[in-house]
Homo-oligomer: A and B are copies of this chain.
């Protein structure tokens, strides 16, 4: 087997790519601007030029086993990106097909949260685990579910959208998906900022957050205030952790994972978030599962995590589809 894989993480702003070896060491990485090209062909062309330059500079020509791509709404079964709100190109995008025919290397695609789960299972906090749930707490809430050592893609390739579990059935917050009451509307970075604004409007107590323009408050502001001892800001984290912990108790009755692995900006809030989360999770847990699920933080370095996760999928990329509905398109 060739010694390297190429991992590509496509975000709304940047596309980061890196050459990774079998032990999860990022040999070299670089990036291009995702949104620079309104034409997808031009984007693929620049990606090819820059990645080829990186591969050549690191003496890795003919040494790339496969390419793994993590992309918003990336579908593992057909290698397409479908209706990704933050990407500038018309949907659907036959990404795996375009990249593999350009590079002449097998390509596998999945969404960013699944890529993170694969990275964590291969190189991070979930090494050796066969059953865990990755929850990414960023602008939104994403998830990658691993059962029996396999990522759960479901019948259509879109499984694992736990950010869109309904946590508040009535009078819930409007979510970006158009429905109301989704987990994501409460437990994302955006959700934390919304909670702070709600608390500031409803309550009358003093808070250092009142010194900021209310519609510009970010989750970082709430974190900083809470760390300085601001009661209202601490209550926002208590509220957020409680909702997430209750939701995790519901995820437990589904697949009974060994652990939840949290990833993303909000996961770095530490005990501010984790303490109420663990308490709510155990309090809400069905008896048979009490005390069984670990709550872990990602062990992948931020700078490397996205590329590592995507790259791990490159080991699975196969040169030709085995059947019409095969997961990998070349």
Interface of A with B (CB < 8 Å)?
A: 82-83, 130-131, 145, 147-148, 150, 152-162, 164-169, 177-179, 246, 249-251, 253-258, 284, 286-289, 292
Contacts and interface: CB of A to CB of B under 8 A. Distances in A.
Contacts of A169: 167-169, 246
Contacts of A292: 155-156
Number of copies: 2
A147 B152 contact: yes
Nearest to A129: B155
Q: Which residue, A158, A254, A286, has most C-beta atoms of chain B within 10 A?
A: A254
A286 B163 CA distance: 11
Contacts of A165: 250, 253-254
A97 B145 CA distance: 33
Given A155-B292, A177-B286, A166 B250 contact: yes
A307 to B, nearest CB: 26
B246 A162 contact: no
B255 A159 contact: yes
A287 B178 contact: yes
A113 to B, nearest CB: 12
Contacts of A255: 145, 152, 154, 159-160, 254
